[in-house]
Amino acid sequence: MSNLISKNLLQEFEAGNLTDLGRQLHQFASELYPICRSITGDGMRQTLAQIQKRIPLETFEVPTGTQVFDWTVPKEWNIRDAYIKDAAGRRVVDFQKNNLHVMNYSVPVRAKMPLRDLKPHLHTLPDHADWIPYRTSYYQEQWGFCLSHRQMMAMPEGEYEVSIDSTLAPGHLTYAECFLPGKSSEEVLISSHACHPSLANDNLSGIVVATFLAELLSQVKRKYSYRFVFIPGTIGAITWLARNQKNTKRIRHGLVLTGIGDRGGFHYKKSRRGDAEIDLAMAHVLRHSGEPAEVLEFSPYGYDERQYCSPGFNLPVGCLMRSVWGTFPEYHTSADNLDFIDPLQLARSLRICARTFDVLENNQSLRNLNPYCEPQLGKRNLYRSTGGAKISDEIHARLWVLNLSDGEHSLLEIAERSGLAFESIREAAALLSESGLLAPAAKAKGEAAADSGSRKPKRSSQPKRKGITRR
Ligand SMILES: [Zn+2]
């Protein structure tokens, strides 16, 4: 039990210095916010380049037309400018002011037309007259503008000049990975979509928390290897899975991170398996966090867990969110902006992730070396010396660990069964191990799978950076 992430990674959080961390997370989100991202193109590349300034990143380019399972990598989309000008030549809708003004993946257009012909290409939200909707048309070649309803209502009849200076042509789909090798070749997959333009919660919150999590994990000794992927939603996850199908066997735990910056309570959506270790760990951490939280069963709609949990893969991948997609009015509108995400909530989301991986890193099964009746704790200084009326949680934790350490129960399962926090159970286990009462179970549950077989840790593909394994 030497690789205690918590002693390093969690200390900062537990010391309560979330304010500064939150500020840094929000600052990074604001740097990425103006970039016009899409499922392909230079916006994605610029975003990955920004992430790469913080963590080691390998970028992959997959050509247009590449077959990925039932899908095909689309043409690459890039945009430079777009506007609608009125008869006086004034830009009444201007891409330079907000990149949501152009329907993502709009084909180029340059034309003059009366308002009645333009209107079928205009998208608004009558119920939220000041917000701009976010619209895409990835798989149907068309063009459109998105604007506030108020803006549209203020447009008089007459001729308008429309221009979308975009290109839709053979190119590439771009994604990136940050790989942090650990002691085991078994991997943790953390996936964030990075294809939404100026939207803060749905997209940027996941990207910034994942980036900071990678930064933190790079500084501690790791049992697992970690693979962070920054990909376009749906087609990116499908592309990544198609190119890494064999490697998915190494994935031991996985998490999709998105929508974790708003002020709503946490929602953890379980993997399709429903009882994966990460499902138990996340539920446990949330329950003991004091944060408002709800655990949701798996459903085949949502973010990229849909692909990771498709029946052919059925990976142990869950999804951590705050407010659930589609349930808040700001979702997929210009109101999902930098004010909609809160620095402190971003930091708290990062803390939940760090605590969960701390549990997974330290979860193991042990064996009680003195299983015939209770060992005498008093003579080992492990029991209260003056018999009080109540025994403390500390003693409870020791008794639970001793009783259930039969090689069949992991520390997380013991924590769950005892109702005590993982941290207390782990501390008890550490103390009992030091006293010679516990030993690692020979083929402990969970551990057996983690390091089984003759697979060697695949570290050669990534140069080891100096200083990434400090304790
Ligand atoms: Zn979205």
* pLDDT tens, residue by residue, 140-178: 999 999 999 999 999 999 999 999 999 999 999 999 999
pLDDT value at residue 463: 39
- Of 18-27, 263-272, 304-313, the poorest mean pLDDT is in 18-27
Query: Mean pLDDT, to the nearest integer, of 61-73?
Result: 98
452 has a pLDDT exceeding 60: no
Amino acid 36 reads: C
pLDDT value at residue 393: 86
Q: How far is CA 446 from CA 366, 432, 451, in A?
A: 11, 21, 9
C-alpha of residue 111 to centroid of ligand 1, in Å: 30
* pLDDT tens, residue by residue, 252-270: 999 999 999 999 999 999 9
- Of 81-85, 124-128, 213-217, 272-276, the poorest mean pLDDT is in 213-217
C-alpha of residue 199 to centroid of ligand 1, in Å: 8
pLDDT value at residue 171: 98
C-alpha of residue 28 to centroid of ligand 1, in Å: 19
C-alpha of residue 66 to centroid of ligand 1, in Å: 24
C-alpha of residue 12 to centroid of ligand 1, in Å: 32
Query: Mean pLDDT, to the nearest integer, of 76-101?
Result: 98
Query: Mean pLDDT, to the nearest integer, of 89-112?
Result: 98
pLDDT value at residue 4: 42
C-alpha of residue 332 to centroid of ligand 1, in Å: 6
> What residues contact 44, with CB distance under 8 A and at least 6 apart?
37, 38, 174, 175, 194, 195, 232
Average pLDDT, the chain: 91
Q: How far is CA 17 from CA 146, 263, 347, 439, in A?
A: 40, 19, 9, 36
Report yes or no: 84 and 161 within 8 Å, Cβ to Cβ: yes
* pLDDT tens, residue by residue, 328-350: 999 999 999 999 999 999 999 99
- Which of 202, 136, 199 minimizes the C-alpha distance to 168? 136
pTM comes to: 0.91
pLDDT value at residue 249: 97
Alpha helices in 33-125 (DSSP H): 42-52, 115-118
Amino acid 406 reads: D
C-alpha of residue 343 to centroid of ligand 1, in Å: 20
pLDDT value at residue 470: 35
Percentage above 70 pLDDT, the chain: 89
Query: Mean pLDDT, to the nearest integer, of 228-232?
Result: 98
Report yes or no: 48 and 178 within 8 Å, Cβ to Cβ: no
C-alpha of residue 418 to centroid of ligand 1, in Å: 39
- Which of 310, 228, 329, 224 minimizes the C-alpha distance to 272? 310
* pLDDT tens, residue by residue, 369-387: 999 999 999 899 888 755 5
C-alpha of residue 194 to centroid of ligand 1, in Å: 10
Q: How far is CA 317 from CA 194, 271, 349, 352, 442, in A?
A: 18, 5, 17, 16, 28
C-alpha of residue 331 to centroid of ligand 1, in Å: 8
